[in-house]
């Protein structure tokens, strides 16, 4: 028997958000929320995902659910239970939707049967809790297989896919074929980017909703400089009094000087984030040639339950770091942040991003890079790959987009050129913040979500 978990989310004050975004945007939000509440007429909104911590979906659901509850919608968040084989299969699906082989394993009948069996067991455990008229949003490939059961309760099911690739190949086709029988039971689909919608969903009820960040969350709220230093000294990244009280820096490397310009990539340890590429390029082009330092920051690998690749990728990065010449090792730190205390994890990421001179996101594929938008909100210049959703996140002049994500030289040159031009860094940062304020804060996302919920309640019963 599986044990799906209810994630408790404290309400987040919509009014406080309203004060930050201004009366006009607040009024638009109130208006859309009240329409959705009327349409729900007491029914619940369920979000079902595969992890409560680590990664962009968990990050976003905390906020969406918190605000929706404050606005009066009975919004629930369930996290499914799965065994390692299930998460190996779903990670394979994740990689293949991005057009990559992943672990090279099969997605055949045996895997389909295991995927189904795990989700069937989850349904048995939630039986009786979801009722006719409720709205259910299933997140990502891990949960798509719940749809055929849920529609039997007379609920409206949407599938929200947070990942995707703007190219198709045999891997993407394989993943979409695997999911096809499950998606046939979903009524509505949500993608972050129009280019991610697979051909098989042509003509379906498809919505494009971009993710957002929350300006009031622990990840993004303003932090006093002293708090930033204290947090970074505490994890052993920077020198200071009492350094390394909760050391998170691998290999016992010494703390960095707070004066050195710091380049940062914050990511899960996932091949598609290409932490290794960042490391190689920095070692080759910047380490020892400039006073810049690099921190690759990710979760402690036990903390992200639906990501079986994490430990392996982290180990590969660590091996690579160990193999570097001394001057490169001295300039580069690998940092793993504990996920045990989600608040401390979030403020520490916030502090790392605020301390950074430049934030990079050298992903090989990306649905929507929350870390990019988080950094832009903090007025940081970003150097990122022009892949997937990132292309729309960084408008002209608000960061640097690199056309070929595998070109380590281009990445190194762009980074060193930018670090040598503080005036350009500052103006990029200002443009970045303005752009995020206008398009990527929670109020816009909540309006889209409320609109989606209203739409779903008005669909004829399935």
Q: How far is the CB of 336 from ligand UDP (least distance, A)?
A: 8
Q: How far is the CB of 241 from ligand UDP (least distance, A)?
A: 25
Q: Which helix (H) or strand (E) holds 312?
A: helix 310-323
CA nearest to 93, candidates 141, 149, 22: 141
The torsion region of residue 205 among left (phi > 0), alpha (psi -120 to 50) and beta comes to beta
Please state, in angstroms and rounded to a whole number, the distance separating the CA atoms of residues 87 and 8: 23
CA nearest to 263, candidates 179, 129, 383: 383
Pick 134 or 306: Cβ nearer ligand UDP: 306
- Residues near ligand UDP (CB under 6 A) are 55-56, 59, 219, 266, 268, 297-299, 337, 345-346, 349, 368-371, 374
Residue with tokens 């070692």: 283
Closest chain position to ligand UDP (CB): 56
Q: How far is the CB of 334 from ligand UDP (least distance, A)?
A: 12
DSSP 179-240: HHHHHTT-SEEEESSGGGS-GGGTTSEEEE----B-TTSTTTS---HHHHHHHHHHTTSB--
Q: How far is the CB of 441 from ligand UDP (least distance, A)?
A: 14
Q: Which two tokens stand for residue 17?
A: 């958000």
Pick 351 or 398: Cβ nearer ligand UDP: 351
Please state, in angstroms and rounded to a whole number, the distance separating the CA atoms of residues 207 and 286: 43
Q: How far is the CB of 193 from ligand UDP (least distance, A)?
A: 12
Q: How far is the CB of 363 from ligand UDP (least distance, A)?
A: 8
Pick 56 or 399: Cβ nearer ligand UDP: 56
Q: How far is the CB of 389 from ligand UDP (least distance, A)?
A: 9
Please state, in angstroms and rounded to a whole number, the distance separating the CA atoms of residues 139 and 165: 17
Three-class secondary structure of residue 320 per DSSP: helix
Q: Which two tokens stand for residue 249?
A: 């820096």
């Amino acid at each position: 028997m599986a044990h799906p978990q209810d994630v408790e989310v404290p309400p987040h004050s919509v009014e406080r958000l309203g004060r930050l975004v201004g009366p006009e945007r607040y009024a638009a939000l109130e208006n859309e929320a009240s329409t959705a509440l009327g349409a729900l007429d007491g029914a619940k909104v369920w979000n079902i995902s595969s992890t409560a911590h680590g990664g962009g979906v968990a990050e976003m659901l905390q906020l969406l659910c918190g605000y929706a509850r404050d606005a009066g919608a009975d919004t629930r968040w369930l996290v499914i239970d799965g065994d390692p084989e299930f998460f190996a299969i779903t990670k394979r699906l994740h990689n293949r939707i991005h057009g990559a082989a992943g672990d090279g394993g099969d997605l055949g009948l045996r895997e389909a049967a295991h995927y189904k069996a795990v989700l069937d067991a989850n349904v048995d455990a939630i039986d009786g809790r979801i009722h006719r008229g409720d709205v259910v949003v299933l997140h990502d490939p891990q949960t798509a297989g719940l749809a055929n059961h849920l529609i039997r309760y007379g609920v409206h099911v949407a599938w929200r896919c947070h990942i995707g690739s703007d190219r198709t190949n045999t891997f993407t086709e394989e993943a979409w074929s695997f999911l096809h029988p499950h998606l046939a039971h979903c009524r509505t689909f949500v993608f972050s980017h129009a280019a991610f919608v697979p051909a098989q969903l042509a003509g379906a009820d498809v919505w494009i909703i971009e993710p957002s960040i929350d300006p009031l969350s622990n990840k993004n709220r303003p932090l006093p400089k002293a708090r930033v230093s204290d947090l970074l000294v505490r994890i052993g990244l920077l020198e200071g009094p009492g350094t390394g009280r909760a050391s998170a820096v691998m290999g016992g490397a010494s703390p960095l000087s707070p004066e050195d310009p710091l380049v940062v990539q914050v990511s899960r340890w996932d091949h598609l984030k290409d932490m290794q590429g960042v490391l190689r390029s920095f070692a080759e082009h910047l380490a020892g040639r400039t006073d810049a330092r690099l921190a690759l920051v990710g979760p402690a690998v036990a903390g992200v339950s639906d990501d079986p690749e994490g430990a392996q990728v982290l180990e590969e990065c660590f091996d690579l770091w160990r193999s570097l010449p001394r001057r490169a090792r001295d300039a580069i730190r690998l940092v793993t942040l504990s996920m045990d205390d989600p608040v401390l994890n979030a403020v520490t990421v916030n502090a790392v991003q605020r301390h950074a001179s430049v934030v990079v996101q050298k992903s090989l594929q990306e649905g929507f890079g929350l870390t990019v938008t988080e950094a832009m909100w903090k007025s940081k210049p970003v150097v990122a790959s022009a892949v997937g959703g990132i292309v729309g996140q960084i408008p002209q002049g608000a960061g640097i987009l690199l056309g070929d994500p595998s070109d380590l030289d281009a990445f190194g040159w762009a980074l060193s050129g930018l670090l040598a031009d503080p005036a350009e860094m500052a103006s990029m940062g200002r443009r970045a913040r303005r752009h995020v304020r206008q398009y990527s804060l929670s109020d816009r996302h909540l309006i889209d979500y409320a609109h989606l919920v209203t739409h779903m309640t008005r669909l004829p019963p399935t």
